[in-house]
């Protein structure tokens, strides 16, 4: 039987932690009740499990359980946050602010809102992927009702100036939605400290199941949204539909495990990232780091290689499961919207997403294979690389 490739694409999705899977399984069989069923023990058991999960998600981000709404994932949470806030507050203003390197879920929501008569400002970013706070403040007008800026970028790993964004939004009386799908469980996030009003979470980015997510909605002062999915009045009337109890249980435990292990896991991933960076850039020149050198996700390393074709490089690494960027856009041969926004036009880029189940031995193997593949392709092309190393 063939050996599966080493998985280094944990920014696209993560393996469900075995502890999470074990907690979920009874809710497919013995505890299969509907949490909305209030007349028997099957419903009560399911309702208690959902309540525990709500508390576990809230604890990870410093919220209270009543501020957590369960969704089918971060994309739905983003849609509810952006469209729900914009439509509820449209009588007060029709202006939103986001930036050029947001996830497609945010950018596509903004384009939809533009078609509905809203105006959206798309802020540029610097070469590291950060917005300019002066430009953000200058973009806010009396018509601005919502800022949507992510916690950390899904491709290059850059962490935004989160406390500064929250302080400015509070000062100007504008709601702030934070797409935290990549950041939750990987870096400390406290909604009260940061001043976040709306925050979206994805289960499958932090070793929980696919098909489940959450939206934090501030209660004090209360954030008002217009529901985007009508049904049986679940989730305080903001998200109708029978709750995905097994998925919610999995998300809850995944958040609890992340809360308990966050600090130690971040240090471990940073060490693996440094091992990967030094291993590749030691023997190879013409390698450039994309994203901020220090303010980045612990498990993210995004590199561009001079003198190599991107498609050929990926094909030359069949024993490594990684991508050239976002899983939503990695099928394209063109640089992603994120790389274009930071001015990176190199023909070959790789996103290494390190995770909970990666080992030092796997990273050592990856180093050998990447160095060999780049060297071989450069030799075939007769190219001489021109990049300078960036600090890792």
Q: Please calculate the CA angle 129-206-4 and round it to the nearest 5 degrees.
A: 100
Select which of 99, 178, 255, 328 is catalytic.
328
Question: CB neighbours of 247 closer than 8 A, spacing ≥ 6?
Answer: 24, 203, 208, 209, 211, 212
SS (H, E, C) 297-356: CCCEEEEEECCCCHHHHHHCCCCEECECCCCCCCCCCCCCHHHHHCCCCCCCEEEEECCC
Rounded to whole angstroms, the maximal C-alpha distance in the chain is 74
Whether residue 49 is preceded by a cis peptide bond, meaning omega within 30 degrees of 0, is: no
Q: Contact at 8 Å (CB) between 179 and 200?
A: yes
Length of the chain: 392
Q: Contact at 8 Å (CB) between 213 and 200?
A: yes
Neighbour tally for 66: CB within 10 Å? 12
Residue 328 bears catalytic tag: yes
How far apart are alpha carbons 326 and 346 in whole angstroms?
A: 16
How far apart are alpha carbons 160 and 216 in whole angstroms?
A: 19
- Which of helix, strand or coil describes residue 350? strand
Q: Is the four-CA dihedral 78, 98, 340, 385 of positive or negative sign?
A: negative
Residues classed as catalytic: 328
């Amino acid at each position: 039987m063939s050996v599966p490739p080493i998985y280094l694409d944990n920014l696209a999705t993560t393996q469900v932690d075995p502890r999470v899977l074990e907690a979920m399984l009874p809710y497919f069989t013995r505890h299969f009740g509907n949490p909305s069923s209030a007349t028997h023990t099957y419903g009560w058991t399911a309702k208690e499990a959902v309540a525990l999960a709500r508390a576990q998600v809230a604890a990870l981000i410093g919220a209270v359980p009543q501020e957590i709404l369960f969704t089918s994932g971060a994309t739905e949470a983003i849609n509810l946050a952006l469209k729900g806030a914009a439509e509820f507050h449209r009588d007060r203003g029709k202006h939103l602010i986001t930036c050029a390197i947001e996830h497609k879920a945010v950018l596509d929501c903004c384009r939809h809102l533009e078609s509905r008569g809203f105006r959206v400002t798309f802020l540029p970013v610097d070469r590291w992927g950060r917005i300019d706070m002066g430009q953000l403040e200058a973009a806010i007008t009396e018509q601005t009702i919502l800022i949507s800026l992510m916690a950390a970028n899904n491709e290059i790993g850059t962490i935004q100036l989160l406390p500064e964004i929250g302080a400015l939004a509070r000062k100007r009386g504008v709601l702030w939605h934070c797409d935290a799908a990549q950041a939750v469980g990987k870096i400390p996030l406290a909604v009260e400290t940061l001043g976040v009003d709306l925050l979206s979470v994805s289960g499958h980015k932090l070793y929980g199941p696919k098909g489940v997510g959450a939206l934090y909605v501030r209660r004090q002062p209360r954030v008002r949204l217009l529901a985007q999915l009508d049904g049986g009045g679940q989730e305080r009337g903001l998200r109708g539909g029978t709750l995905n109890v097994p998925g919610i249980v999995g998300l809850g435990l995944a958040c609890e495990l992340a809360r308990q292990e966050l600090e130690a896991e971040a240090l471990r991933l940073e060490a693996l990232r440094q091992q990967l960076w030094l291993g590749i850039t030691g023997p190879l020149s013409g390698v450039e780091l994309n994203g901020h050198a220090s303010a980045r996700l612990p498990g993210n390393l995004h590199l561009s290689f001079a003198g190599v074709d991107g498609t050929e490089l990926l094909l030359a690494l069949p024993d490594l499961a990684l991508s050239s960027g976002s899983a939503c856009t990695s099928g394209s041969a063109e640089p992603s919207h994120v790389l274009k926004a930071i001015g990176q036009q190199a023909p070959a880029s790789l996103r290494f997403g390190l995770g909970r189940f990666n080992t030092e031995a796997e990273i050592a193997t990856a180093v050998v294979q990447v160095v060999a593949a780049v060297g071989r392709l450069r030799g075939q092309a007769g190219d001489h690389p021109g990049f300078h190393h960036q600090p890792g």
